[in-house]
Amino acid sequence: MNFNLTADQLMIKETVSEFARRRILPNRMIWDESQIFPVDVFREMGQIGLMGMLVPEEYGGAGLGYIEYKIALEEISRVCGSVGLSMAAHNSLCTGHILQFGTEEQKKKYLPNLASAEWIGAWGLTEANTGSDALRMQCVAEKEGEYWVINGTKNFITHGTSGNVAVVLVRTGDLLDSHGITTFVVERSTPGFSGGKKENKLGMRCSETSEMVFDNCRVHESQILGEVGEGFIQAMKVLDGGRISIGAMSLGIAQGAYDTALSYSKERKQFGQAISSFQAIAFKLADMAVAIEISDLLLLKACELKNVGKSCTLASAMAKYESSEVAVKVSTEAVQILGGYGYTKDFPAEKYYRDSKLCTIGEGTSEIQKLVIARELVR
């Protein structure tokens, strides 16, 4: 097995790293503190292929695979987890759902604008009282001739207000029926569709998170993805890929925190020597490096399975679970290594620390990942 990156993959890594240092690094704390969603930066990311990485070239995308996608997400998140989160949600959820289940007409209509980031995408599953328990969703659609009328609210939606197009899962059948949920593509200009409350978050503060509100929103039946009643099953398949993206984002955050801690430990001197020479610090760095390597290998396996079309439910859940927990662990240790400076905004350790916690919550909590893993193991 060859673990070396190809020449093309190395070029992607270097290109994305340079872009992140040039366009994101100087502004990340300004965006974070002001909760600015930098749409212009995402447009630029679209121009260099980062917002449609998995989209085939015929639809205006980069036509790349999951390993390249993982590499790019890591490099973005290594500098700013918030930008990585928005990139992941746009690529894997909204764009990915249309790519997997859209008709040819729907793909031609939406994918080019999403791949270029001319349109920002949102994906709506979660509601106030139905996070992990998606089958109890209260957002419903009722059929009226050729139209469906949607009513309800989606919560904690990335790009819920700024998104130009949203893939939305709503109940069209009985409560708790896995075949009672349908997926619709809803454009921002559709009457009755609006953004609601914007969340004031602990971390990931420049990635917009808000409600999506549907008030007698009439959507034509041509906007259904797949068939009526297939929404929940579609969502589970989309989340397999989404978990790889959150894992890659988590890995990038962990790497960024580790870079910060390692650099600081070599420069900071106490008792006449660099603190990296003390066993207490050196052992922390060793544990951090090993945990990052484990996450990387789990993600590579999931990416490879996804690329060749094999089931990756178990592998993606394992990768997401481990990588997200490692992001929290490594960023916590980074703050500890920096000591008092780690608690200030003069150093990036505190931002990695704040951003990392979302990794264990978004797109399936760590507890849900363990349920998925256990279910797959005992099949």
Say yes or no to pLDDT of 3 above 90: no
Classify the C-alpha dihedral 368-369-373-379 as positive or negative.
Answer: positive
The reply to whether 118 belongs to the active site is: no
Say yes or no to pLDDT of 340 above 90: yes
pLDDT band of residue 34 (cuts 50, 70, 90) is very high
Classify residue 283 by burial, with Cβ atoms within 10 Å: 0-12, 13-18, 19+: exposed
The pLDDT score that the predictor gives to residue 132 is: 85
CATH superfamily of 232-377: Butyryl-CoA Dehydrogenase, subunit A, domain 3 (1.20.140.10)
Q: Is 194 left (phi over 0), alpha (psi -120 to 50) or beta?
A: beta
Residue 268 corresponds to which tokens in the numbers above? Answer: 């900071």
Classify the C-alpha dihedral 67-71-74-80 as positive or negative.
Answer: negative
Percentage with pLDDT > 70 across the chain: 100
Say yes or no to pLDDT of 57 above 90: yes
Q: List the CATH code of the domain at 122-229.
A: 2.40.110.10
The pLDDT score that the predictor gives to residue 131 is: 83
User: Per CATH, the architecture of 7-120 is what?
Assistant: Orthogonal Bundle (1.10)
Classify residue 15 by burial, with Cβ atoms within 10 Å: 0-12, 13-18, 19+: middle
The pLDDT score that the predictor gives to residue 183 is: 98
Mean pLDDT of 13-20: 98
pLDDT band of residue 2 (cuts 50, 70, 90) is confident
Say yes or no to pLDDT of 1 above 80: no
Mean pLDDT of 286-313: 97
Say yes or no to pLDDT of 147 above 80: yes
Asked if residues 305 and 317 have their Cβ atoms less than 8 Å apart, the reply is: no
Say how far apart CA 358 and CA 372 lie, in whole Å: 19
Q: Each residue of 214-231: pLDDT tens digit?
A: 999 999 999 999 999 999
Q: Each residue of 168-198: pLDDT tens digit?
A: 999 999 999 999 999 999 999 999 999 999 9
What is the average pLDDT value for the chain, to the nearest integer? 97
Residue of 364, 374, 351 whose CA lies nearest to 83: 351
Lowest mean pLDDT among 74-83, 124-133, 246-255: 124-133
DSSP structural state of residue 126: -
Say yes or no to pLDDT of 247 above 90: yes
Residue predicted with more confidence, 130 or 70:
70
DSSP structural state of residue 167: E
Domain positions in the chain? 7-120, 122-229, 232-377
Please name the helix (run of DSSP H) or strand (run of DSSP E) that holds residue 143, with its range, or none: strand 140-144
The pLDDT score that the predictor gives to residue 185 is: 98
Q: Of these residues, 142, 325, 363, 367, which one is catalytic?
A: 363
